[in-house]
A and B are shown apart, each in its own frame.
Chain A
Amino acid sequence: MSAHVLAGSAVVAQVADKQSGEPFFFWVLAVVSVCAALGMIFMRKAVHSALLLATVMLSLAALYAIQNAPFLAFVQVIVYTGAVLMLFLFVLMLVGVSSTDSLVETIRGQRFWTAVIAVGFFVLLALGLGNAALGDSAGLKTANADGNVIGLARLLFSKYVFAFEATSALLITAALGAMVLAHRERTTPKPTQKDLSVERFKTGAHPGPLPGPGTYARHNAVDMPALLPDGTPSELSLNPVIAARTDTIERHTDLYGETEEEAVEEDVAAVRAVTEEVKDADAESRAVFRSAGPATGESEGKAGE
């Protein structure tokens, strides 16, 4: 009986490591991560590389989870994908998203020798792995008996407590170093609002905001140039790409008139009429407000609040 139990426990220990569906997930994640890693080094745009690196890191997190390391899987997602990669993307945005690598080789034969070195290095690693007597894995059933986090904490605060304390010093040093490196001493006084405004008008360019597309026009589509209060179509109101693609005045010819000029005349007349109407209405409402007196105006203001 006891021998039977012993044999049974040995079998259990042997298959403790086996998990159903593991090969399937391993092969899917391995293919995804290797493809993403290859894409990462071949993509020309840095942002694409960063996103593919995020893919690799997420699939590695899943691989950790498969290998009985749930704590590391979550740390991988939170620290690597969440913090480190966002920091990368942040710096990419500061440096400029459109920055691409130049494809000119500055060192002659760099790619060829890189390929040679890579193949040699991989063959070395593969030979080392092939010669190692790896055997079957023991599994983490006993080590994770109280839970993965508790097991890790037990080791971290006993055997590795000195290294753990040293990392706190490392983190403080890194934070200080980043602050020192990112700090920039101001050599010129900070421009005041007055300086900025003088600067803006000095150039002689249009100081205000540009007119929006479709203002006073018959359509409010983005390709419709705005009509200025004096009736001229404004090319400034359009996206430069659209303005370059089409003759903006032609946009007004779809409904009225035989020629572009006539269509624009028609629109200008309509705009003038509307402007006059609004002006009259405005003057009227002002007159009403003035005759009503300040007392009602105040109560209205309170009601509005």
Chain B
Amino acid sequence: MSPGHYLALSAILFTIGAVGVLVRRNAIVVFMCVELMLNATNLAFVSFARMHGNLDGQIIAFFVMVVAAAEVVVGLAIIMTIFRTRRSSSVDDANLLKY
């Protein structure tokens, strides 16, 4: 299998994730779509590592995973706080910074 196949799959998954972020309005689902995009880039990093024959790409994918885990913790805590005050997890209702 040439790396092109893996990169194409990664591009498709990234686009699907981006569509989800733009279309969905439940904050948690939007967040899951962001995770999908991060996973797609990880797939690209791993195939680049294999293509170049060194492990740097895998290290970067590992760091992406660490940052994503930290980001999920904080993001979900923010969603919970908004849900507590607004009783809703829709991104349309979180407009407190708007005015």
Residues in chain A within 8 A of chain B (CB atoms): 17, 22-23, 26, 30, 33-34, 37-38, 40-41, 46, 49-50, 53, 56-57, 60, 63-64, 67-69, 71-72, 75-76, 79-80, 83-84, 87-88, 91-92, 94-95, 99, 101-102, 106, 110-111, 114-115, 117-118, 121-122, 125-126, 129, 134-140, 142-144, 148, 151-152, 155-156, 159-160, 163, 167, 170-171, 173-175, 177-178, 181-182, 184
A156-B59 CB under 8 A given contacts A53-B36, A67-B6, A142-B53: yes
Is B74 in contact with A114, judged by CB distance below 8 angstroms? Answer: no
A23, A57, A69, A71 pick with most chain B CB within 10 angstroms: A69
The majority secondary structure among interface residues of chain A is helix
Total A-B residue contacts, Cβ distance less than 8 Å: 225
Is A99 in contact with B70, judged by CB distance below 8 angstroms? Answer: no
The majority secondary structure among interface residues of chain B is helix
Is B89 in contact with A95, judged by CB distance below 8 angstroms? Answer: yes
Is A67 in contact with B47, judged by CB distance below 8 angstroms? Answer: yes
B interface bracket (residues with beta carbon within 8 Å of A): 35 or more
List residues 55-99 of chain B with CB under 8 A from any CB of chain A.
Answer: 55-56, 58-59, 61-63, 65-74, 76-81, 83-84, 89-90, 92
Is B50 in contact with A68, judged by CB distance below 8 angstroms? Answer: yes
Is B79 in contact with A170, judged by CB distance below 8 angstroms? Answer: no
Contact with A along B26-66 (1 / 0, CB 8 A): 10110111011001001100110111111110110111011
**Partner pick for B15 among A33, A63, A125, CB 8 A cutoff:** A125
Which residues from chain B contact A99 at a C-beta distance below 8 Å?
Answer: 26, 89
* Smallest CB gap from B56: residue in A: A155
- 7 inter-chain pairs at a CB distance below 8 angstroms, sorted by A residue, are A34-B13, A67-B49, A137-B3, A167-B66, A171-B66, A181-B77, A181-B78
